[in-house]
Structure 1
């Protein structure tokens, strides 16, 4: 039987036939389904037309099923049970009994900063859940689409002036802000810079972090607008590498406050003399997972762990 043929049928007929077989009475079947006896009689007529069989014949005051009805009985019961199972609510999510893996995409610095807290928070409630951390990349959206990446933590770079997102379109993902990334200027305790004017900031040697090590960013555009330029003495690809260089030299760097606060290195911080808007840090996931109880459980605890790690520093 084709799907197109099924589309023309009222599948409520299955439920009516199931009750008719069980009660062998139009009146009792109608009562069981909460409809009137005339309505059930009309339904029986429709069943006879659809199946080209009388299905029941009267014997005194009782209905006796035909051989076709008796042959259909186990199939009808199975179909009704299968349909009921489709609409039954899922069993309550039990984190203690949960097994399997969950994959999180995070940058190198956020893994270092938050992975211990995330693991501890999740394992406190779901000790059997295996966590898989992987780096963020331009492929992360496609990995999420394919179900290879369950949840990601990443910045909304559109908040920064003239900073492209690397051609990555996040619009198809659910985006939940979990904290705001603010920026500070850092220096080593041996060469502390607790207050910086714009000219002093431009005069000092900088280390910058970026994926391409180009050494130029929107800060340079801002300085240029004030007839200033800075010397980029070193360019690295990670914030951690920049922090390591600053800690051991007279260089300064403009780094995310969350990275500095969770860093094991001792650094002196100062507010930047350049206006830098806060960058929302987002939890990102595919919309198909929004109502999934397991996914909701994990992402809520990931958010709690991140906020707790930030608050503890």
Structure 2
């Protein structure tokens, strides 16, 4: 492969089509002398004169005549491989399974409208939602998943990201909870019992750091894997849950999981959450993958209220 020059294939195609060094040079935008040197290289590579003098012109050898159609087809195929795919994607006939890795909270918020949008436009396409136990980029690199949804990490700098929306944390309690009477202060918030959601089982986070700066500490009595679990517990107990605001303001507000709950602004400041779509750069130019990304963005932006 180190000695193979694919430019020779295009040059041979031009020479055999034109039957002239001058004509082939004009077609490829080269000088006649450069094309003559290329013909010499082709003769050496093929072991055949290819074009020989006949009067004032050149005529192909039997070997060149035999190669003409084959070389032209090869050249066409190479150009097709090395040219961006400009053909329109026929979404209606797309048969493909897309794997999306996202948290349980994101699936609860957006899976239903996303599945509906995909099914409406591409009835033969399928979506597979995979659990998100960590931020490991290997499944993206290995092609196991097509899209990752979440907070971008620093472990895979080559991964492409596209901002979807910003979120922040709020407190959630059941209807009639005593905390809702008289105003939510840091002291009253810390005095309550709490349930937190953490994939890794961590019992503290930015809220606890902010409370510690005020000399306060909350009592955490339960740690669950996902935000929907925390919301279910809060609905049936006096525990205070900490969840993203989108869990109550997004499409889930019509879901039973959000019913019977009241959200409130935290009495301490916590960092915003940036939710993004992530994919491997090899999928950048894939028409079907690009369509999936655009569909996802449209669904998310259409489902969440403006802030």
Task: Report whether the alignment pairs 1:295 with 2:289.
Answer: yes
CA 1:124–1:55: 2 relative to 1, 3 Å: same
**Is 1:281 the counterpart of 2:284 in the alignment?**
no
Distance 1:37 1:179, change over 3 A: closer
Report the Cα distance in structure 1 between the residues aligned to 2:135 and 2:305, rounded to whole angstroms.
Answer: 31
1:181 counterpart = 2:146: no
- Deviation, structure 1 residue 68: 3.1
> How many Å apart are 1:311 and its aligned residue?
2.2
1:66 aligned to which of 61, 69, 85: 61
Is residue 2 of structure 2 the alignment partner of residue 4 of structure 1? yes
Shift in alpha-carbon separation, 1:176–1:29, aligned structure 2, 3 A: closer
Corresponding residue number in structure 1 for 2:128: 132
CA distance in 2, matches of 1:301, 1:186: 31
In 1, the alpha carbon distance for the partners of 2:31 and 2:193 equals 88
Native 8 Å contact 2:210 2:268 kept in 1: yes
- Structure 2 residue aligned with 1:116: 112
Residue 13 to residue 269, structure 1, CA distance change in 2 (3 Å):
closer
Give the structure-2-normalised TM-score. 0.84
User: Match of 1:266?
Assistant: 260
What is the rounded CA distance, in whole Å, between the counterparts of 2:262 and 2:41 in structure 1?
A: 83
Q: Quick check: 1:289–1:295 contact (8 Å CA) kept in 2? A: yes
Number of aligned pairs? Answer: 298
Q: Name the TM-score, length of structure 1 as normaliser.
A: 0.83
2:140 touches 2:279 (CA, 8 Å); kept in 1?
Answer: yes
SS at match of 2:107: helix
CA contact (8 A) 1:122 1:302 kept: no
Instruction: Tell me the SS of whatever aligns to 2:2.
Output: helix
Cα offset for 1:75? 3.8
Comparing 287-296 and 102-111, the one that deviates more: 287-296
Structure 1 residues 13 and 193 mapped into 2: Cα distance closer, same or farther (>3 Å)? same
Q: Is 1:150 matched up with 2:136?
A: no
Which digits, 9 at most, give the CA deviation of each residue in 1:262-283, with x for residues without a partner?
2532211221111112111111
RMSD of the TM alignment (CA)?
A: 2.8
Q: Name the SS for the 2:52 alignment partner.
A: strand
Residue 203 (str. 1) matches residue 167 (str. 2): no
- 2:177 aligned residue (191, 198, 202): 191
Report the CA distance between 1:169 and its aligned residue: 2.3
Kindly state the Cα deviation for residue 37 of structure 1 after the two structures are TM-superposed.
5.5
After the TM superposition, which segments of 4 or more aligned residues of structure 1 sit over 6 Å from their partners? Answer: none
Runs of at least 5 residues in structure 2 that lack an aligned partner in the other structure:
none
Q: Are 1:242 and 2:230 an aligned pair?
A: yes
- What is the CA distance between 1:86 and its match in structure 2? 2.4
The gaps in structure 1 that reach 5 residues or longer are 157-164
- Pairwise CA distance, 1:139: 6.6
